[in-house]
Structure 1
Amino acid sequence: MLSLLALASSAVWGTSDFFAGLASRRRPPVAVVGWTQGLALLVVSAIVLVRRDTVTFEGWPLWSVAAGLAGMTGLVCFYSALSAGTMGVVAPIAALGVVVPVVLGVAGGDTPSPWAWVGMLVAIIGVTLASGPELTGEVSPRPVVLASVAALGFGLALYCLDRGARESALLTLWGMRLTSVSILVVVALLVRSTGGVTPREVPGLLLIGCGDLGANFLFGIASSRGEVSIASVLGSLYPVVTIVLARVVIKERLRRVQRAGVALALGGAVLIAL
């Protein structure tokens, strides 16, 4: 069940990231992050208000702030990379941030089974192979650098989200969004711009924000009730969804090595689930 929750989070993340990448080609990436995070904050704040009788301030606040800072940095860099590079290549590089929570999880006491180790290794090799064209130098290095920074941010955010979710997944998500949105509002005030977003674009940005929020919640539940190392690998398979959508919707060309990487990533997920 926990494996299915983690896999579901990757499916929602991948779909949300694909549409965020499209939005970042029309508007500044930081504006897309700000609007999606801000709209998601309104949604999660309403839920917290309804459940205010269960609100406590023990265990999760510091982890939520750390997750918010790391996640915001990762999203800005990731959306910037998506807007400048090939979606089916940038996403797998960013997904390599999964190494961070795996290492921290094992150091903190996680003990994956031998088959789980094999599955994690196969899955990580899969997402690495899926990024093959970037490694050939056939595209600009800027998206690679941005995606690498995003990977570190995402990895730290996953680990911090897991730690906070052990106390409260909902409140950790609320704290994450409150942290990131507060910083982005200050940025918007300094530059005196909201990114040129029109009312017509708001519903789409709301869906993207809610998708990211839902994926975080699913991951938090899965990791806090299992091993963060395993949940992180399964949750980080979202590039497979992004790649498939990029191929189907915008006809983005994928090389054989990328297709092989997708197959390995899925095979690794099966081994972990077993």
Structure 2
Amino acid sequence: MGVLLALASAVCYGFVDFAGGMLSRRVHFAVVTFLGQTGSLLLALAAALLLPADAVRPADVMWGTLSGVGSATAMRFLNRGLSRGAMSVVIPVSAVTGVALSVLCGVFFLGDRPTPLSWLGICVTVPALWLVSAGGTGRGDSEGPQSGPVLTDGLIASLGVAAQYIGLAQAHPASGLWPVAAGRLAAVLLLLPITWRHTSEFRQSAKSSGWAVLIGAGAALGLILYLWATRLQMLAIAVVLASLYPAVPTALGLAVLREKVTRAQATGLVSSAAAVILLSLG
């Protein structure tokens, strides 16, 4: 069940990244990020109230807050990179580096001990993530002078991804979904001062704002599924499976945007499927 929950989280995040990337081309990334985190907070609060917790400790709130800081950082820099038309740079950099940091932390600091088969799956996942999200053409990739800033966006986003996954996994199961809600509140508060500088950008249509909020709610659902996965599966495995989300926007790009699959993308998609099998059997 932990494997299925982690994969469901990946699917949610894949749809969120695809929709957020498309919306960030039309709406300022600061607006998409803030409204998204607001939508995420609303869904997380509703879910936490509907599923009562046995006991919420201060430590659980602290870990949830750390996760929220990571989420806000990841989404801000991810959306900024996407708004520069650099999907094939910022997504693979953030995904690959984020999963590597999370796995290393799980193994060296949290006592995770993946089986040899699981290690093989982890090793297959890293190049698969890169190929599936960086192997496309015609996605409006940035060139020239922007490549440096875009790479920086991806690396900073990866630190946020790692903090988000590691922090949330430390919350005690008895805390229910309140760590997710605490994290979403922290993310909104952290983004407020930054968003204030872009208030003029909020003069968008109600439809665009609604989409941003809905996208954020999808991200919260992805986090909830991931949290449940970590309670049934070791962190290293749950993170790797949840981090396969770049395969979803790639598949959607092929199906919805009629993009042509490249050899690298095809290899990445097949490798991702192999990684899922290996991690499931491990």
Partner residue of 2:226?
219
* Residue segments in structure 1 that go unaligned for 5+ positions in a row: none
1:41 equivalent to 2:41? Answer yes
How far the C-alpha of 1:207 sits from its partner, in A, is 2.1
- Normalising by structure 2, we get a TM-score of 0.88
Q: Distance in 1 between matches of 2:257 and 2:118?
A: 35
SS at 2:151 equivalent: helix
1:75 equivalent to 2:75? Answer yes
* Residue segments in structure 2 that go unaligned for 5+ positions in a row: none
1:127 equivalent to 2:129? Answer yes
Q: Aligned pairs, how many?
A: 272
Partner residue of 1:63?
63
Aligned positions of 1:229-240 closer than 5 A = 229-240=236-247
Q: Once superposed, what is the RMSD of the aligned Cα atoms?
A: 2.3
**Letter paired with 1:168:** S
CA deviation digits over 1:81-138, x for unaligned, max 9?
222234355322221111111111111111111101101111112112335559xx98
SS at 2:56 equivalent: coil
Partner residue of 1:104?
105
1:185 equivalent to 2:186? Answer no
Partner residue of 2:120?
118
Partner residue of 1:263?
270
How far the C-alpha of 1:206 sits from its partner, in A, is 2.7
Q: Distance in 1 between matches of 2:191 and 2:228?
A: 27
Structure 1 89/185 Cα, relative in aligned 2: closer, same or farther at 3 Å?
A: closer
Is the deviation greater in 178-187 or in 217-226?
A: 178-187
CA deviation digits over 1:5-58, x for unaligned, max 9?
101100110011100111111111121010011122123223434556756334
How far the C-alpha of 1:266 sits from its partner, in A, is 1.8
Q: Distance in 1 between matches of 2:199 and 2:123?
A: 46
| Aligned pair partner of 2:213 in 201, 206, 215 | 206
- Normalising by structure 1, we get a TM-score of 0.90
Is the deviation greater in 183-192 or in 139-148?
A: 183-192
Structure 1 191/125 Cα, relative in aligned 2: closer, same or farther at 3 Å?
A: closer
Given that 2:51 and 2:177 are in contact with CA atoms closer than 8 Å, whether structure 1 keeps it comes out as no
Structure 1 50/116 Cα, relative in aligned 2: closer, same or farther at 3 Å?
A: closer
Structure 1 204/16 Cα, relative in aligned 2: closer, same or farther at 3 Å?
A: same
Is the deviation greater in 110-119 or in 144-153?
A: 144-153
Given that 2:133 and 2:250 are in contact with CA atoms closer than 8 Å, whether structure 1 keeps it comes out as no
How far the C-alpha of 1:175 sits from its partner, in A, is 0.6
SS at 2:233 equivalent: coil
